[in-house]
Structure 1
Amino acid sequence: MPDNAVVIGRVGALAVALGVGAAIAGAAGAAAADTSESGVGGTQSESRPERESPTSGEADARSVPDAPASGDSDPVDAKPGAASSSEARTGADAAVHTRTSSARLPRTLAVRTADRGELSEARDELDDEPDPVPSPADVAALTALGAARREVGSAPSNAAAAVPEMTDRTTTQTTPVAAASPLGTPQQLAAEHLAQRIVGSLPVQLARLFLKAGFQSAAQRQFDRVGGPDPENLRRLDAAVDAYAMGAAFQQQLLNSAEPSVVMQVAPPHTWYGQSVGASRILYDNPDTIYRFMGVNGASSYVIRGTFADLDNLPADTSFSVLTGLTGNTAAVLTKDQLVIDPDGSFTITADATPAGGRSNHLQLTADTTIIATRNTLSDWAHQTPMSLEITRVGGPPNSLFSQLGGFAIPGIGPAVVRNPALTTLVSLIPPLPYVPTLLRGTVAAVIMLLGVQREETYMSVATTDPGTGERIDPNVLKDPARNAEFLATQLQSAGYFQLADDEALVITVRPGGAGYFVVPVTDDWTVTEDYWNVQTSLNNAQAVADDADGTTYTLVLSPTDPGVANWVSTGGLNQGTISIRFQDLDPEAASLPSVDARLVRLEDLPAQLPPGTRWVTADDRAAQLVGRKAAYDLRFAPYPQP
């Protein structure tokens, strides 16, 4: 742990720098405010000091991922066909080479499945208090990593496992699947390891108490028409608070945008590589979506590289969103249809303060940019896989205490520093701490949690409140889709909440219109999904049976009790909860927009309320349906089946 004098000295120096910088910014305030984003970006890239160039050996050690084991292939640096890449790709690679040759920048993040050395090294980089000797959990993790590496072999496609998959919703077959998930990178595993340490810190545990009281108070207000949260939802409150705390622990790690990494969060609990990771899902998480986040700032420039392993089975939707501030408003987005992918499945995205200017795969960062969020939405769990992904910072001010403490993400201060080159240089003079103590990380995570009380109520109100009048709406009402969440700029949502007896059902009719994808998921009062891998608490358009051959209409039955319908969306034991139906892959040329309606019926009256040709299933059919669902879900964390 660093000496107190070091911590106090550097924080004090940063405070002085900010004070001097405030005076500078005040003197030149009008000029700074009028500077365009593109002009600022160009000026900053020239005037901000970079780190000193490392020696040749140091550059090799820090900027090149560990060499893969014999037969392994790097999906980015050693991909076939690199010599025939497009001009935009060549230009991006040339820019990376030019900048990294003159500045000591963070190492490139590997996207291969982790092995023993990579996990150990990544943990050493992220852990603020590394264990002096391996703990039993570490030993188990390393043993599992080695076994997985031997079991997986060279390329995922060479090691296939057979899992049952539902076809025609009633029969099973075996399908070859990839043996290793691209999500299990060394950086992801190390981030999960550190997040668990952060959530155990005293500040986070204290913030938990405040968050729990705030969530419960918000639910009492938002669900007042049904008497507030019912006993089952109150039972799930602790789990929701724990998930929010885990999410905050991941977000804290993203704050240093000078050393970016790709972190999967808003994720279900999972066990792999010898470690069990708690849930971090919040705010209407989509069971079909893999969420990954990268901390960035408008004073720096970045290169994002990724690879789709199977171009014949791309995710139903993929997006890269530039988010700003603490609320996550969308400033720019790169959609599936805009993303240029090379013939080998790889792609390169550049991100900085300059406009695209005709360049493909470019994201413009604003002064208040804090995060780039990526989403892979998988409608066919058995065949669609998430992309591999890595990020490298290729330009900008050197890492500093200001960046390490999340200064670029502080409202008002961060944007002011980005807009003013002199202020950027000033705050960059104080170097970062050798490592960030767990207590300090926990304190920052606790602050993020406290901000979550208002945010959670805002998202509850999406389901319970009419956006036009501000009045509470009745349960079991779903309106036509709209854009009602600030960070879902490329999606439409139809939100509401349900109140159902055991012998009641909500019959939902979905007309996708110009949407290539939709999903009907169940969330509790705290806007969190439950066990959607073992229970059918969600259905998307690839999993459901359409009412007609053209797929223009789908009828789904949401109920606590299995009605024997193929298109059953289980409430997962809830009689009260929330719904946020998502529509993605929207066709801007489509003549019709998606629409939704719902009606409350008794189960005994259900057959008369369903369209002709509705598919019914037996108990054996349902069991087979759930077996296929779970096996397909397990591919996200392959080669580790989940509980």
Structure 2
Amino acid sequence: MRRPPTHAAEGFAEQSTPTAGHARFIGRVGALAVFLGVGAAIAMPAAHADTESTSSSGTSTSGTASPGTDRGSGDGSDTSSSGLAGNSETSTDPSSASDSPGETSDDDAATLTGASDGDDSDRKRSRATETGPDADESDIATADSPLQSGESGAPSEVVAAEDRTNTVTAAVASASVVEVPAGALPLPDTEDRHIPVLPATTGTAAPQASVDIDDTAMSNQVSPLGTPEQIDRERIAMRTAKSLPVELMKLILRCGFLAAAEKQFALVGGPDEANRAALTDAVDEYALAAGFQQQILNPMDPAVVTQVAPPHSWYGLDVDGSRLLYDNPDTIYRFIPVNKTAEYVLTGRIYEGIPADTTFSVLEGLAGTTSTILSLQDLDVSEDGTFVITVSGQPALPGQRNHLQLTSHSTLIAARNTLGDWDIEEPMELAVHRVGGPPNSLFAQFGGFVFLGSLVNNSPFLTSLMSLIPPLGIAETPLVRGPLAALILLVRGANEQAKYMALATTDPETGEPREPNVMTEPASNAEFLANQLQSNGYFQLADDEALVLTIHPGNSGFFTVPVYNDWTITDDYWNEQTSLNNDQAVPNADGTYTMVVSVADPLVANWVSTGGLNQGIISMRFQNLDPDSEDLPRVESVLVKLEDLDDHLPADTIYLTPEERTAQLAARKAGFDKRWAPYLQA
């Protein structure tokens, strides 16, 4: 049964912000690494220090961009891997480009929970069909041309508490112009897209500052993810991933991954040939993810960065994948660096294609244990779909709903948009503005606030002391980015990979290996989003076998069944049906879902392809859980021969013709392409 219709603001006044315990705190790096890095940078000639002043309220966007010149590095020829080699980065991190006053914002992730009644046509709100006007190349950064090298400089001033209100207002006001990176296909001028009418909230919620965002350039024809800043970040990440320290660390990582898989899949003889062949690509994606993670170590120069993404091509750039640790094919992931000593404002907008689930999670430590979550239904959202969220170490004011409180261990905000119907639902716009806290510094550039955690964050004296040395341009080059990314690979690396593999292959209570082709009962796990349930398992299937899954959604408004290789990443899920969610699947008459996981296509509508793998992992997610219901999701699994499949399927099972399967896959690909619009993907 498809998810029932939901208004984004429905029930806002009645629900309180959910929080989760710190769960297990995942490894923290010692001070030695930071001290070595800072010492090396200080030893560099003073001439490397940047001279351009930065604003005290850094602004980063996803879906919007600043009209100024983008700062970053690049030779403008990143459309092939050869274009990434041999070019040193000589400018500052592009996130500093967002320090200019005129910048705007929007980016990475969100998810929305559903109500319990109404028909499917009501929930799937129609999108506007109009497209945005042509981008003016004189006003926007050119993604296909070399980026201007920038200079960072003197520390920005700390915003006084009494001036905070004015600062927040100014930060919000800066998000007033939406631009699209140069290189986008010409789009005809049309009227503005329609905005969802969200019910007015009631109760004691404090008034929210309005956000005036011009959306004339945004439509379902242009993805809100494709900002000049995002393109710059992708260029930098790919260069970093090809640096010598990262390349060396990948050799270690490869050995660690293989050793972990030999242990975790020992019951079936270790990883098979197909998975061994996929190991190099998996390590490459992990390395690119580290190239992105390195760019979100500095909470004093925040940016909204889309990552954990599949390979894609847009704006003259071929971007490799950065998937890892059970990436969800339905989810857009965006990350924002934060720290308790600073204050931030998030501005965003939800459009008519409301995602199936939208969450903002505060993550702790470098690996990211969830401490606090805001869901879309917890927020006060304006009638035009805009919202403002304040972020600081202080608790929310009385009646304030749109607030995230940071702890001394907080490092990131993860914004997730989970898309159920890929044809209709779309990611939100999102931007970050830093409105208070210590100035940007060399210490912050090297991730000191992340690596040293509460040692510095709980001491105003140490915070001020460590912020004395201004940021240096050398810290934004591959000379420094590479070692930092390699350090992240070392910290997360093989141990973390083994831990995530074990979720599917090992009994957590006994430590004994699990049998293949058996799914666990849905349960909460600290390694995933804290307000969802997961059912994990691994499969070992012959070409003539299938794993039949019967899913009882229970109190979940959304669930998905994705297939992963042994290295916990997805493959080509846009051209192959290697995942299926309850919006895409056909329900049984009793409200359950029956899905068939197999190598060969049985022409069942609810087929989940293994992508040609005989061995792999299934990690199901159950989201939008109704807290007032005790009807928990359940999963049953049975291994059958394909020739006996009909005996294990409901009588009303829908079968497709080969032509209908082709049409189903074509529609799937078209929905995926919307994420990268206006560029079609391979």
TM-based fold match above 0.5: yes
Tell me the equivalent position of 2:267.
225
For residues 167-566 of structure 1, what are the structure 2 equivalents within 5 Å? 178-310=220-352, 313-357=353-397, 358-410=399-451, 413-435=452-474, 436-451=476-491, 452-548=493-589, 552-566=591-605
CA RMSD of aligned residues (A): 3.0
Tell me the equivalent position of 1:612.
651
Cα 1:597/1:150, change in 2 over 3 Å = same
Tell me the equivalent position of 1:11.
42
Offset at 1:469? 1.3
Tell me the equivalent position of 2:611.
572
| Cα separation, 2, equivalents of 1:153 and 1:252 | 39
CA contact (8 A) 1:115 1:149 kept: no
Cα 1:61/1:393, change in 2 over 3 Å = closer
For residues 25-40 of structure 1, what are the structure 2 equivalents within 5 Å? none
Cα 1:352/1:107, change in 2 over 3 Å = farther
Any unmatched runs of 5+ in structure 2? 1-36, 45-51, 69-98, 108-131, 153-179, 195-218
Aligned residues: 526
| Cα separation, 2, equivalents of 1:398 and 1:205 | 33
Secondary structure, aligned partner of 1:148: coil
CA contact (8 A) 1:264 1:292 kept: yes
For residues 94-109 of structure 1, what are the structure 2 equivalents within 5 Å? 108-109=103-104
Offset at 1:157? 3.8
| Cα separation, 1, equivalents of 2:481 and 2:385 | 37
Offset at 1:153? 4.2
| Cα separation, 1, equivalents of 2:57 and 2:322 | 35
Instruction: Decide which of 621, 628, 633 is 1:594's aligned counterpart.
Output: 633
| Cα separation, 2, equivalents of 1:321 and 1:457 | 24
| Cα separation, 1, equivalents of 2:418 and 2:518 | 26
Q: Determine which structure has the larger helix proportion and give its number.
A: 1
| Aligned AA (2:605) | A
The Cα offsets for residues 514-546 of structure 1, whole Å up to 9 and x where unpaired, read as 000000000000000000000000000000000
Cα 1:394/1:155, change in 2 over 3 Å = farther
| Cα separation, 2, equivalents of 1:60 and 1:441 | 21
Secondary structure, aligned partner of 1:569: strand
Instruction: Compute the TM-score of the two structures, normalised by the length of structure 2.
Output: 0.73
The Cα offsets for residues 425-455 of structure 1, whole Å up to 9 and x where unpaired, read as 1111111102422121011101111222111
CA contact (8 A) 2:66 2:104 kept: no
| Cα separation, 2, equivalents of 1:448 and 1:153 | 45
Cα 1:450/1:60, change in 2 over 3 Å = closer
Offset at 1:597? 1.0
Cα 1:468/1:248, change in 2 over 3 Å = same
Secondary structure, aligned partner of 2:624: strand
Offset at 1:111? 3.6
CA contact (8 A) 2:66 2:103 kept: no
CA contact (8 A) 2:360 2:415 kept: yes
CA contact (8 A) 1:198 1:442 kept: yes
| Cα separation, 2, equivalents of 1:187 and 1:614 | 47
| Cα separation, 2, equivalents of 1:125 and 1:408 | 28
Instruction: Decide which of 175, 178, 184 is 1:148's aligned counterpart.
Output: 184
CA contact (8 A) 1:156 1:178 kept: no
Secondary structure, aligned partner of 1:192: helix
Offset at 1:486? 2.8
Cα 1:7/1:434, change in 2 over 3 Å = farther
Cα 1:364/1:508, change in 2 over 3 Å = same
CA contact (8 A) 2:181 2:227 kept: no
Cα 1:212/1:67, change in 2 over 3 Å = closer
Say yes or no: does 1:640 pair with 2:679.
yes
| Aligned AA (1:627) | A
Cα 1:617/1:126, change in 2 over 3 Å = farther
Cα 1:147/1:438, change in 2 over 3 Å = closer
| Aligned AA (2:313) | T
Cα 1:210/1:155, change in 2 over 3 Å = farther
For residues 108-147 of structure 1, what are the structure 2 equivalents within 5 Å? 108-111=103-106, 116=137, 118-120=140-142, 124=147, 146=182
Offset at 1:110? 3.1
CA contact (8 A) 2:264 2:501 kept: yes
Secondary structure, aligned partner of 1:519: strand
| Aligned AA (2:440) | N
Secondary structure, aligned partner of 1:151: coil
CA contact (8 A) 2:393 2:407 kept: yes
| Cα separation, 1, equivalents of 2:192 and 2:577 | 28
Secondary structure, aligned partner of 1:341: coil
| Aligned AA (1:377) | T
The Cα offsets for residues 562-585 of structure 1, whole Å up to 9 and x where unpaired, read as 011000000000000001000001
Any unmatched runs of 5+ in structure 1? 1-5, 14-50, 69-103, 130-143, 159-176
Tell me the equivalent position of 1:75.
none
| Cα separation, 1, equivalents of 2:233 and 2:65 | 18
CA contact (8 A) 1:513 1:595 kept: yes
CA contact (8 A) 2:58 2:435 kept: no
| Cα separation, 2, equivalents of 1:392 and 1:502 | 53
The share of aligned pairs that are identical, in percent, is 51
Cα 1:630/1:483, change in 2 over 3 Å = same
CA contact (8 A) 2:60 2:433 kept: no
| Cα separation, 1, equivalents of 2:147 and 2:525 | 41
Offset at 1:622? 0.4
| Cα separation, 1, equivalents of 2:264 and 2:366 | 23
For residues 155-166 of structure 1, what are the structure 2 equivalents within 5 Å? 157=193
| Aligned AA (1:241) | V
